[in-house]
Amino acid sequence: MTGQLRADAKRNRDQILAAARDLLVNQGVGVPMEEIARHAGVGVGTLYRRFPDRIALLRALSVHTVEHMTDLARTALRTEPDAWTALSRFVRECVALRLGALRSIVDPQLHTALHQSDEVRSARKDLLRIVEQMIDAAQRDGSMRTDVGVVDVAMLVSLHLKRPFDVPGVLAEEMDARLTQLMLDGLRPGCATPLPGKPTSFADVEWHADH
């Protein structure tokens, strides 16, 4: 029975964090806690027992997201044939899953409060360490330019995830693929890879800038 209770508690926690990430990234940090609970399929009381306030929820979500990114980085480094391919895969997966987008919607004061947490700092350190391994290896074998470091890459991904305005469905995926390829090409010593899809004009997205 104790094992079942622990499994249920973990499932509830995972559901809450998944729902929170989805709603917060797409609607902003002001989403009511009640809506997060409803989206997660749990009662409001369950949510507040796990996370007594919004800061506690955001802190846990930050750790959860960074740990997921770290798992992706480790898997890519372990399974891909070389460091550059591993780094490229990791970046594309983070962009496709919108991992790291939470940071872009949190105001600077709240962002600082979140990252004063030892747990968040430790998780970020683990992630940056493994990404740095990829970068160092790729630079040693000549597949990546040598004048950039792990913070440059992290900032590029973070900036990419912070869209200035909404882009409709399929077009958003195409733009993500194009911009990711541009970003990765910029990290190469000298390479020009054809971009996916076709150039998007301002007219394609203009009406979204005002909504």
Interval 8-24: pLDDT, tens = 888 889 999 999 988 88
Is 57 strand, coil or helix?
Answer: helix
Q: How many domains does one find in the chain?
A: 2
Q: Do 175 and 93 lie in a common domain?
A: yes
**Residue at 105: amino acid letter:** I
Q: Can you give the residue range of the structural domain that contains 66?
A: 54-210
Q: Are 30 and 40 in the same domain?
A: yes
CATH code, domain carrying 127 = 1.10.357.10
Domain end marker among 34, 52, 70: 52
Closest C-alpha among 101, 79, 103, 106 to residue 90: 79
In this structure, the answer to whether residues 36 and 125 fall within a common structural domain is: no
The reply to whether 83 and 174 lie within a common domain is yes
Tell me how far CA of residue 120 lies from CA of 50, 60, 63, 123, 185, in angstroms: 17, 8, 5, 5, 31
Residue 155 and residue 191 in one domain: yes
Residues 101 and 39 in one domain: no
Name the pLDDT band for 207 (thresholds 50, 70, 90): very low
Question: By percentage, how much of the chain surpasses pLDDT 70?
Answer: 78
The answer to whether residue 202 scores a pLDDT higher than 90 is no
* Shared-domain flag, residues 47 and 118: no
Q: Which domain-ending residue is among 52, 68, 83?
A: 52
- Name the residue with higher pLDDT: 3 or 102: 102
CA distance 104 to 70: 19
